[in-house]
Structure 1
Amino acid sequence: MNRTRLLPLFLAFFLMLGAMPALAQTPTLDAAKEAQSAEPNTDNSETEVPKHLASPRDTLSTFLESMNRVETDRTDEAAWERIYSTLEIPKSAGSARKEVAWQLLGVFNSLGKIDPQTMTPGVDEIKTDKLKNFEFFPDNPRPAAQKIIKPALSQLGEAPSSVIIHRVDSGAWKFAGESLDQIPQLYGWISERGVRYGLDIRQRSASAWIRSMVPGSLKGRFVLGMEAWQWLGLLGLAFICVCIDLTARVLISPVAKRLVNRYLGAPDDDLLKTTVRPMGFGLGAAAFLLLVNLLGLSGMALTVLVVAARVVLVVCITWAAWMMTDLLAAAFMRRASKTDSTFDDMIIPLLRKTVKLFIVAIGLIYVADSFDIELLPLLGSLGLAGLAISFAAQDMVKNLFGGLSIFMDRPFKVGERIVYKGYDGVIEEIGFRITRMRTLTGHLVTIPNGGITNDPIENIGRRPYIRRTINVTITYDTPAEKIQQAVQIIKDILEEPGIAEPIHGRIGADEFPPRVYFNDYNAASLNIFVIYWHFPPAYWEYMEHGEKFNQRLFEEYAKAEIEFAFPTQTLYLAGDPNRPLSVGLENLNPTEGSGG
């Protein structure tokens, strides 16, 4: 087999696994649910706070200045990083942070010109007033802020939410996650007022532009945190994903079949369909994650939808990789069945299980990441429970090392017949932890590998021959010359064509000719001992050979009028005229010392 031809398949397999991290990081907005500092400290004097986040004034100034930079250059990553640092949104939210930033800027631009110096407190003021939270909108106590806030409230009515800047555990000031969750609603409410200063963010935000094109009857009313147009958009997005799923399956199936047929041989159609199915689901989930930001969602609505889609995507990739492993293993097993070696028959199932275990482990890691679960602290918190688990897992570890010992020492192979603790059967599968044996009666026996390495095993499959011993019994009334004839008949039969060939083989340099002897007197017969060795050790060929020998022996003894003996007893009866039997009593002298 040309292994280089398999390279494209292996590359595709591992690229799909490698795509899981990138796709799993698709935007979500779990605002205010993830601490931004690993070492919380409420005493700001002991923590070095970045100057651009030292107060609400610095945070607002940093946000506005950086947004001005990305207005002219949307690829300015340094500016985006400074913007993200002002928002209490986890890094895993990805590009969703940009949508929130644009909508927050849209809120400010609809209010009017924002002056951080007069509208927010500085470092000295927060120290004097010991501030921990500052509400910028709508209840901003600063007169300069009220000049632009009051006209908006008088025109639009009560604001649906607020904009709050608060101090996080690290001491830095950021836009609070709770208020950022409500930014889409706030922007939808205040955007009806139009732009009073700066850029119309509809030129930068796709979701804002889409919302501006939606009829007014579908905006303004929220159900479960979403406007009517967003619900309709969600249904449309679901329909698009279903279409992508069906189309992908139709397009991928013939291509996959040609590739598998070319590189791996004729595939199992059912297995191929099962492998392609999760690929369509996965592409649909990926499309959902890429397009959901167009709906301008945030908060719990976005979190639920995105986390669900990310889990579906990870499960689909894991499922596809799992089935692809079965597809590759089935192809390699077909090739292995055509070789003389049985080592590949053992190693392929083991590699399949190992790869599947790795795939499931990677999948679980990314599912946990989708829920923002950190595994290392979780594992570290096990403590004594981990010690208890380690004691409980002793047998498992023992079996794992037993499996490695079997693969290194190779006391048996798949397909060989062994006898182990009274079980006689054929090895079907050798795994890391257990070995499966099918007994001659059809039962499946599961044997822990840890015990196999310590107990004796009789490997019948590796015997070089099958030895047969026979005790041919003839009757006691057989004359001496007939006894010699009986022995010679057996010797002649063992030299006949068709019978002689399998029993005149060689093992190394030692010949094993058949042996025939008149060797014993049994209780009811004369015994002729026969021994021969059948080569090769093929059991059913051995049985056919034995049947042929038995038939010839029966025929030749019948011709020579030699009778086979069987266990007999002779019973003589009193009064039988043919065999007279005298019965009487003997005079017994009483022993000395006995009474009477």
Structure 2
Amino acid sequence: MPVYRPRQYLLALLFFGIALMTGVPVAAQTTAPEPAAEAPEALPTASADPLGRTTPRGAFAGYIHAMAEESYDEAAEYLDLSGLSRRVARQGGAEIARRLRIALDQGSDVQPSVALSDQPEGKQNDGLAPHMERIGSVSLQDEVVPLYLERTEETEEPLWRISSETLKYLPESLDENLGTTVDQLLPSVLVQRKWQGVPIGHWLAMVLLALLTYVVARLFVAAVIGTARQILKRRFPNYPAGLVQAFAQPIRIYLAVMLFVAAAQNAGISIIVRQYFSQVTVLVAWFAILLLAWRLVDVVADGLLSRMTRRANFGALSAIMFFRRSLKVLLLALGTISVLDIFGFDVTTGLAALGIGGIAIALGAQKTVENLVGGLSLILDQPVRVGDFCKVGDTVGTIEQIGMRSTRIRTLDRTMVVIPNGDLSGRVIENYAHRDRFWFHPTLGLRYETTPDQIRYLLVEIRSLLYAHPQVDPDPARIRFIGFGATSVNLEIFAYVLAKDYDDFLEIQEDLYLRIADIVQESGTGFAFPSQRVYLAGDTGMSEDKARAAEAKVNEWRDNGELPLPRFEPERVNELKGSIPYPPPGSSTTRR
């Protein structure tokens, strides 16, 4: 089961946002009619309004701020009173603003201000008239009335205000002392003392609700997750162990936020407190969604890594790790954009600015981009894979990690060499890990006293050895007399050894060298020394008996027409193939 560290929680942000950004559905039937949709009209460029009414988000946030300051005259500037009857309008904008606040406190379902459009034209794809924006609903006299913002053009610039389509349903009198559920439960001292125009008890109640709803969500999700594990174990024994755990925390947070929003509405918490907390709830919502996505990336990647390891498909490991990191970087970018949008930054303008500044950034980060592209080419072309033994320039070692920016190589000295991917992709890479055969090509330097017939004997016998050895590929397998050196006559061997890895090759090479040394000794000659000798005593010289025996053998081949020079006949090659026991007799190793 994967372990999730705290930094992963800080990077993640995604599950509730969609539900919260679209608003919580109301339970009651809305009876008030909605304005019919009309074709959108062009808007003049909005200038700065001191009250921030040029966008739906700014208009509603300004109204909430004015209510928090208990400045009802200022709050009236956010109301469209033009469509009200004279009798209602005669009450004054401040009184209507105050009664609207009471109605919103006692029963309303309003979207978080950060979920409202921050564009002067508002949302154009909501099915409403272009100058109308629905931001929630409010309960008035046992019916649920849509809460609208309307764009008015009474001044030089269009401004958004709370629509008269909603205000006309406000009762002429609302009992402010009726109190909500939370007011009835709070001690009088917490109701009378206020902060930001709201009883202190409402702020404390929100904190208490947050803790309570999280505890409830935690207990509920624990029961559901435990049941889900038991069901999955019975029906799908091989399901990924971390899959259920990946969902646990995001769902827990999501459920806690949904319970928190619903509880705050039903308890009658002030609209001011709810709107101030809405920014936090949306932020936590995005945190949960990206946390879920982050964990699912880990679960899927871990499953793929385990499967590829079992299949010995080590080339896929680098690709999986690379794309895991890439997806997490993408999630981090999405989370950052979402957080900036929640805190009121104009993300659209910022992205446009990045498009203009992208050239300058790219010029300043050429090496970084080059390394990223180089890493991607290493993953796709796979000249090396994790675990490959290779040579890069003067560096020889094993590939331990192919990252997004660099590749790590563990050398034979057990040091770690880090090479940027852009540099690595442009170098000559010699990969030793996937050799099908190993080249065996020693040069034998013989003493100058070696006779031509002894050379012929060695050529025949060593070639027979190469053809007969079961771990040597007979095509090609040759030995040739290549010339006279400064201190020796030279014979060159060219053959390929069939070995599964380098250690196996060293075993076979050792056996070949020992057999060649036996043949050289049997021929009566010896290996030359790359030096000059001063003989101060009589030299025993070479064995004349063995030399005569080797010459006699060559003469026999010559007389019978069987001298296999310059090449062996195919029939003789087939006859010799695999006829030598390997490992040699007496060896403690039994080859399989």
Shared fold (TM-score, shorter chain, > 0.5): yes
Tell me how far apart the structure 1 counterparts of residues 223 and 521 of structure 2 sit (CA, whole Å): 75
Secondary structure of the 2:476 match is coil
Matched, 1:361 2:321: no
Of 34, 52, 55, 2:83 maps to 52
Shift, 1:312, TM fit:
3.0
Alignment partner of 2:511: what SS?
helix
Per-residue CA deviations over 1:214-269 (Å, capped at 9, x if unaligned) read 44354312367543465256335413413422542453256258659977946466
The percent identity for this pair of structures is 23
SS at match of 1:458: strand
Post-superposition offset of 1:464: 4.8
Q: Does 1:242 align with 2:259?
A: no
- Amino acid paired to 2:89: R
What is the rounded CA distance, in whole Å, between the counterparts of 1:168 and 1:294 in structure 2? 41
Which of residues 466, 470, 481 in structure 2 aligns to 1:500? 470
**8 Å contact from structure 1 (residues 418, 457) kept in 2:** yes
Change (3 A) 1:308 1:484: same
Cα deviation for residue 327 of structure 1 reads: 0.7
Does the alignment pair 1:545 with 2:508? yes
CA drift at 1:443: 4.8
Aligned residues: 438
Aligned match of 1:280:
252
Is the CA contact (8 Å cut-off) linking 2:192 and 2:199 kept in structure 1? no
Match of 1:36 in 2: 53
Q: Secondary structure at the match of 1:318?
A: helix
Q: Which residue of 2 aligns with 1:251?
A: 224
Matched, 1:22 2:19: yes
**Cα offset, 1:330, TM superposition:** 1.3
1-side partners of 2:516 and 2:219: how far apart?
73
Provide the residue aligned with 1:143 in structure 2. Answer: none
- Cα RMSD of the aligned pairs, angstroms, is 5.3
3-state SS, counterpart of residue 495 of structure 2: strand
Relative to its length, the structure with more helix (as a share) is 1
State the match for 1:329 in structure 2: 301
> How do residues 171-570 of structure 1 correspond to structure 2 at under 5 angstroms?
198=173, 208-222=180-194, 226-228=199-201, 230-231=203-204, 234-235=207-208, 237-249=210-222, 251-252=224-225, 255=228, 259=232, 265=238, 267=240, 273=245, 276-294=248-266, 296-297=268-269, 302=274, 305-339=277-311, 344-380=316-352, 385-403=357-375, 405-406=377-378, 411-412=383-384, 416-427=388-399, 434-461=406-433, 463-478=435-450, 481-496=453-468, 499-504=469-474, 512-535=475-498, 538-555=501-518, 557=520, 563-570=526-533
Letter in 2 for 1:241: Y
CA contact (8 A) 2:378 2:425 kept: yes
Cα distance in 2 for partners of 1:327, 1:306 equals 32
Q: Please name the residue that 1:155 is paired with.
A: none
SS in 1 for 2:192: coil
Structure 2 residue identity aligned to 1:500 = P
Give CA-to-partner distance per residue, 1:178-206, whole Å, 9 cap, x none.
xxxxxxxxxxxxxxxxxx97565899xxx
Checking the alignment, whether the CA contact within 8 Å between 2:53 and 2:160 is kept in structure 1 is: no
**C-alpha separation between the residues in 2 aligned to 1:260 and 1:33?**
62
Paired letter, 2:19: A
- Distance apart, 1:405 and its partner CA: 4.8
SS of 1:219's partner is helix
Name the aligned partner's letter for residue 440 of structure 2.
R
**Distance between the aligned counterparts of 2:354 and 2:84, measured in 1?**
37
**Distance (whole Å) between structure 2 residues aligned to residue 325 and residue 316 of structure 1:** 14
SS at match of 1:567: coil
Residues 479-529 of structure 1, C-alpha deviations (whole Å, 9 max, x = no match): 555444444443343234xx334423xxxxxxx321112334334444332
Residue 468 of structure 1 and its aligned partner are, at CA, apart by: 1.9
8 Å contact from structure 1 (residues 96, 293) kept in 2 = no
The whole-number CA distance in structure 2 between the counterparts of 1:232 and 1:560 is 103
**Secondary structure at the residue paired with 1:52?**
coil
Change (3 A) 1:570 1:330: same
| Offset from partner CA, 1:306-329 (integer Å, 9 cap, x none) | 433432332233223212111111
Residues 337-378 of structure 1 show CA distances to partners (whole Å, capped at 9, x for unaligned) of: 344766644543343233323322332233223323321123
TM-score by length of 1: 0.57
CA contact (8 A) 1:257 1:267 kept: no
SS in structure 2 at match of 1:419: strand
Instruction: Mark the runs of 5 or more structure 2 residues left unpaired by the alignment.
Output: 1-12, 25-48, 59-79, 111-115, 124-132, 144-151, 164-170, 540-592
Which structure 1 residue ranges, 5 or more long, are not aligned?
A: 1-15, 41-48, 78-83, 106-122, 128-166, 176-195, 505-511, 580-596
Q: Deviations over 1:264-307 (max 9, x none)?
A: 946466x9757644543443344334433455555875455443
Which residues of 2 match residues 54-93 of structure 1 at below 5 A?
Answer: 57=89
Describe the SS at the equivalent of 2:442: strand
Distance 2:487 2:375 in 1: 53
- Say if 2:108 and 2:137, in contact at 8 Å, map to a contact too: no
2:575 maps to what in 1? none
Amino acid at match of 1:21: I
1:416 CA drift (Å): 4.6
Change in 2 beyond 3 A, CA 1:361/1:427: same
Range 275-284 or range 363-372, more displaced: 275-284
2:572 aligned residue: none
Distance 2:338 2:353 in 1: 20
Tell me, yes or no, if the aligned pair for 1:466 and 1:537 is still in contact at 8 Å.
no
- One-letter code aligned to 1:420: V
* Cα distance in structure 2, aligned partners of 1:54 and 1:489: 120
Q: CA deviation at 1:384?
A: 6.9
Tell me, yes or no, if the aligned pair for 2:55 and 2:160 is still in contact at 8 Å. Answer: no
* 1:161-184 Cα distance to aligned partner (Å, 9 max, x none): xxxxxx997456669xxxxxxxxx
Residue identity matched to 2:83: H
Whole-Å separation in 2 of the counterparts to 1:390 and 1:238: 46
- Cα separation, partners in 2 of 1:443 and 1:359, compared to 1, 3 Å: same
Distance 1:420 1:294 in 2: 68
CA distance in 2, matches of 1:541, 1:557: 25
Distance change (3 Å), C-alpha of 1:473 and 1:329: same
SS at structure 2 position matched to 1:513: strand
| Structure with larger RCO (C-alpha < 8 A, sep 6+) | 2
- Deviation, 1:380, is 3.9
